[in-house]
Amino acid sequence: MEQIEHKYVEVNGLKIHVAETGRGNSPVVVFLHGFPEIWYSWRYQMIAVAKAGYRAIAPDFRGYGLSDQSPEPEKTTFLDFTNDTLALLDALNISEIFLVGKDFGSIVISRFVTLYKERVSGFIVMGVPFLPPQPLQFKEGLPEGFYVSRFGEPGRAEADFGRLDAKTVVRNVYIMFSRSEIPIANENQEIMDIVQPLTPLPPWFSEEDLAAYGALYENSGFRTALQVPYRSLLEQVNITDPTVHVPALFIMGEKDYFLKFPGIEDYISSGGLKSSVPNLEIASLPEGNHFVQEQLPDVVNKLVLDLLNKNSKPQ
């Protein structure tokens, strides 16, 4: 990762950690992570787009990794992350970008592209499709042990995670989220206990990768990570027209457990997604799981570069 440089940028009164590679005057691609990820989850894509003539920027959201915490992490919102992204662009004198997001980073993109359309040349999402900026109801019809419900319950996830070190929490979540079934605990079971201690890591995720994530979450803890996304899903957003017309791509792993969330497959297949983003294309990866950018980096890199090259001129 020696090609990737690191710095801190003052954003809305906080020091935000930014990983960056590529030439300063090139078209800019901003990568937004999900949970349990961090800037590091974009390591393959950042190097690929920089080699292709783009400038790659991947921040740690406030409260994640090496970025500052909010003064009151439990009040952090998706809108904070959205406005931090805008302020980061302004601080770096960047007028227009391509956005690439994964998991809840896709939800931040959904807000950013509807609020600040003039700043976006195009976007790519994976793990979670573009979702119209509105309160998100994922619990309907799912048992009490649904991980989103458990993580959303103040105190319960803190106690569950608190039994383990940060590295083990990340390990367990990576293993759970790599599967094709929604993580659901039994009535008298905690989410961390779904994964057995001797369960191996996914073959594409090394002990070195786990150590990198573990160190970053050891630094930040999970206070903000539990607030956003899990305790902010019902956040209200005042947007009159959620339709987005820029070029867009949804990279969909067909074995991604998120597709089994209530209403998601119907939203994608019935035309709801395309009505929100008319110029969106969908790339389906038959073996892809929730972490396609790490699991299948060469495939994802090609898809990312195809969209970028169709809609910009790299330098």
Task: Enumerate the active-site residues.
Answer: 103, 230, 290
The C-alpha atoms of residue 93 and residue 163 are separated, in whole angstroms, by: 44
The C-alpha atoms of residue 174 and residue 36 are separated, in whole angstroms, by: 7
The C-alpha atoms of residue 228 and residue 312 are separated, in whole angstroms, by: 32
Q: What does R_g of the chain's alpha carbons equal in angstroms? A: 18
Contact 251, 303 (CB under 8 A): yes
C-alpha angle 112-116-122 in degrees, rounded to nearest 5? 70
Cβ-Cβ contacts under 8 Å for 270 (sequence gap 6 or more) = none
Contact 109, 99 (CB under 8 A): yes
Phi and psi at residue 90, to the nearest 5°: -65, -40
The C-alpha atoms of residue 85 and residue 16 are separated, in whole angstroms, by: 10
The C-alpha atoms of residue 122 and residue 128 are separated, in whole angstroms, by: 17
The C-alpha atoms of residue 96 and residue 90 are separated, in whole angstroms, by: 10
Write the burial class of residue 147 (CB in 10 Å: 0-12 exposed, 13-18 middle, 19+ buried): buried
Strand 14-21 to 55-59 pairing: antiparallel
Q: Output the 3-class SS for 104-141.
A: HHHHHHHHHHHHCHHHEEEEEEECCCCCCCCCCCCCCC
